[in-house]
Amino acid sequence: MNNLIEKVNQKLEEYMDIRYPESIFNSMKYTVTLPGKRLRPVMCLEACRIFGGNIEDAMPIACAIEMLHAQSLIHDDLPCMDNDDFRRGKPSNHKVFGEAIATLAGDALLSYGPQLIIEKSVNLPPERVLKVLREYTKIAGAYGLIAGQVVDIESEGDESVKNAETLEFIHTHKTADLFRLALKSGAIIAGASDTKIQEMDDLAQKFGIAFQIYDDILDEISTFEDLGKTIGKDKASGKLTYVSLYGLEDSKKKLNSLFAEIYDIIDKYHSEILKNIVKQMELKIAK
């Protein structure tokens, strides 16, 4: 696991080289290389390994997913969205580079990921590269992440839509979709069958929802120092979360039942890495 994180960090450093005009490349690099657990790229590489692929082949898409994740963080933090001044314990992108450059850095990351995938995958079957790009573009746009973000924003002031269905839609797209892209694209690069790709899709959906419940619980029980971002904002703004909808105890129950389902799937694939990721979440909540 640590070995994979290190590999991903090295590649991100390599890919995010600084060109003219430097401000935009510095701004892109700033958020992409913030220290993090690199969960999504690691899961992408692991899915590739599970299905017999060479993880080096999955490295461009793994890094592109981290860039897409960074893009969504940069734009979510903007004053016109969540207006957040901190991210992973550091000033958010627009606090360092200004709003104009931060907006453009997010835009640039949306294209740079696919550009890398194409340029670095010249030795892979073009059909496979196109299949990955099809998943990427769908999930990066209004059918994926952005659909989740829009419903999240619009539900904030509207009590009539604060229900389980809305919550599920938001986090299927805002959270699960990036894990879906990670596990599916790793499997695609390895040449897995459509049935196996679909199994990764199901696993990612369960994992994504579990991850969001976990995140909502942490937001409820942690401090700024623990998480490195503004805490309790969701509660203060009356945002729809698992904890606000189900309460802390029922959220924990829901999470544990999802963990059980996820372990069942992971065990079939004998993946120590995926198992460890879930185990660490379980331990953190149990504390």
> DSSP string of 17-62?
---SSHHHHHHHHHHHTS----HHHHHHHHHHHHTT--HHHHHHHH
Residue with Cβ nearer its own copies (177 or 215) = 177
Based on the shown chain and the rule CB under 8 A, indicate whether residue 154 belongs to the binding site for its own copies. yes
Report the distance separating Cα 271 and Cα 268, nearest Å: 8
Based on the shown chain and the rule CB under 8 A, indicate whether residue 161 belongs to the binding site for its own copies. no
Based on the shown chain and the rule CB under 8 A, indicate whether residue 281 belongs to the binding site for its own copies. no
Based on the shown chain and the rule CB under 8 A, indicate whether residue 10 belongs to the binding site for its own copies. no
CB atoms within 10 A of CB 254: 15
Based on the shown chain and the rule CB under 8 A, indicate whether residue 118 belongs to the binding site for its own copies. yes
Based on the shown chain and the rule CB under 8 A, indicate whether residue 24 belongs to the binding site for its own copies. yes
Based on the shown chain and the rule CB under 8 A, indicate whether residue 142 belongs to the binding site for its own copies. yes
Tell me which residue of 14, 65, 23, 80 sits closest to 180, measured CA to CA.
65
Binding residues for its own copies, rule CB under 8 A, total 50
Report the distance separating Cα 14 and Cα 286, nearest Å: 38
Based on the shown chain and the rule CB under 8 A, indicate whether residue 101 belongs to the binding site for its own copies. yes
Based on the shown chain and the rule CB under 8 A, indicate whether residue 111 belongs to the binding site for its own copies. yes
Question: Cβ 180 to its own copies, closest distance in Å?
Answer: 15
Given candidates 55, 133, 240, 255, which one binds its own copies under the rule CB under 8 A? Answer: 133
Question: Cβ 142 to its own copies, closest distance in Å?
Answer: 4
Residue with Cβ nearer its own copies (125 or 232) = 125
Binding piece for its own copies, criterion CB under 8 A, among 32-40, 115-123, 213-221, 263-271? 115-123
How distant, in Å, are the alpha carbons of 115, 183, 232 from that of 199? 28, 9, 35
Report the distance separating Cα 27 and Cα 105, nearest Å: 6
Based on the shown chain and the rule CB under 8 A, indicate whether residue 141 belongs to the binding site for its own copies. yes
DSSP class of 163 = S
Question: Cβ 140 to its own copies, closest distance in Å?
Answer: 4
Report the distance separating Cα 77 and Cα 93, nearest Å: 8
Residue with Cβ nearer its own copies (97 or 211) = 97
Question: Cβ 286 to its own copies, closest distance in Å?
Answer: 36
Q: Which residues contact 134 (CB under 8 A, 6 or more apart)?
A: none
User: Is residue 211 a contact partner of residue 260, using CB atoms and an 8 Å limit?
Assistant: no
Based on the shown chain and the rule CB under 8 A, indicate whether residue 53 belongs to the binding site for its own copies. no
Q: Which residues contact 133 (CB under 8 A, 6 or more apart)?
A: 114, 117, 118
Based on the shown chain and the rule CB under 8 A, indicate whether residue 164 belongs to the binding site for its own copies. no
Binding mask 54-93 for its own copies (x = CB under 8 A): -----------------x---x--x-xx------------
Residues 53, 127, 59, 228, CA torsion sign: negative
Residues that bind its own copies (CB under 8 A): 19-21, 23-25, 28, 71, 75, 78, 80-81, 98-101, 103-112, 114-115, 118-119, 126-127, 129-130, 133-134, 136-138, 140-143, 146-147, 149-151, 153-154
